Structure 1
């Protein structure tokens, strides 16, 4: 199946990015849990360096399958269906989400590919696998969430097959155009159909939990506070109305 062209909806409104960049991935998992979604945190996708800013973007998906010797060759890097071709199809501002099947002994991207992504304005790379040329990748300043590093090339263990198709990354179903939020806790998927719901409820959840932290700091016991009962919610609303929060 050929790759699906990136739709116009791959771009996110700047206000959406600003709002979600103020919401932790932990809060997002809570908000989505209340909607019945339990599987939105990508296993194995950890920040490659500490202190990376929280990043937001639509998912541009790439998929690997197990290596097959007639397909996974160095010559395949020049094929029309290759990671190189996929990178050139990525729109600026997207987050590349790569299904590496959790493989730990073959780096899917190295410094040259990451440098090209950075040059093209890609927000971040997220994968359940590993990268190679770690020192060089760090030098590109492309934000990366992955499982670590390995020296061997991708074709030693993986075959690249497609981009902009539904994938499984870190045990999570990711569709092109879904929204990714990445921070120190990892990468969380916000289904595109639930984006408006998250934008409405996630900032309020952050405000409430910030108020709860202040109550904890002043010695308020947890029962009735977290989760907030009717009395605690009334105090919260009163503080919000008075401008204290």
Structure 2
């Protein structure tokens, strides 16, 4: 079966462990999902986004939405008007990771039960921690429909990449052949830059700003030799 373009992008990111820094560079230094920081270190995740939300200091509607989380997705939870309350904790996290089999959990809100989350080393990116959680009560009014429509459109068909630097989101509109080419280019550029730094002992101004390697015949020969001999 032929892989979809989105699957090809995810595979390339995972295979080469392309960092969030490099992904953001491919998108002209955009794509940050703000306020989400790694709770546990050294995790790397990439996959399709499943977007949900909690609002008005309640997680009732969130529990309902999480029943539809597809396997292999990165669950992004937007917290709207939840003040300093945690969106959820260990119970929901275990449900998502073990029983819904999601790739990662990302939220711009707070989390609770952090000692347990750290012990289990779950792949979580969040805004911080607090012991005070949201209320489990059904909201009397629906979430702002304009806000929901805007956020849902932003994450529809999106991909997320998560590492120790944070989380970046690749919108559906950017997922094309040109983006695949950019991923390949950014990896090659990083290899060349570090070769110039470590082997040729060039400074970063000469390497990054002036890009002297573009006209350096010796470097071209070395790179061609490395490619031909698989080094």
Common fold: TM-score over 0.5: yes
Structure 2: state its 5+ residue gaps: none
Structure 1: state its 5+ residue gaps: 1-9
| Equivalent position of 1:113 in the other structure | 92
Shift of 1:187: 0.1
| Equivalent position of 1:127 in the other structure | 107
| Equivalent position of 2:184 in the other structure | 203
| Equivalent position of 1:32 in the other structure | 27
Is 2:156 the counterpart of 1:176? yes
TM-score by length of 1: 0.75
Residues 11 and 203 (structure 1), Cα distance of their counterparts in 2 relative to 1, 3 Å cut? closer
Residue 159 of structure 2 contacts residue 171 of structure 2 at CA under 8 Å; is this kept in 1? yes
Q: What RMSD over aligned residues (CA atoms) do the two structures have, in Å?
A: 3.2
Shift of 1:25: 0.8
Shift of 1:93: 0.8
Shift of 1:227: 3.5
- Structure 2 distance, partners of 1:102, 1:205, is 38
TM-score by length of 2: 0.79
1:180-191 matched pairs, under 5 angstroms: 180-191=160-171
1:9-48 matched pairs, under 5 angstroms: 13=7, 15-21=8-14, 22-33=17-28, 38-48=29-39
- Structure 2 distance, partners of 1:166, 1:176, is 10
- Structure 1 distance, partners of 2:5, 2:205, is 43
Is 2:194 the counterpart of 1:194? no
Structure having the larger proportion of residues in helix: 2
Q: Say which structure, 1 or 2, has more relative contact order (CA 8 Å, 6+ apart).
A: 1
Number of equivalences: 214
- Structure 1 distance, partners of 2:154, 2:117, is 24
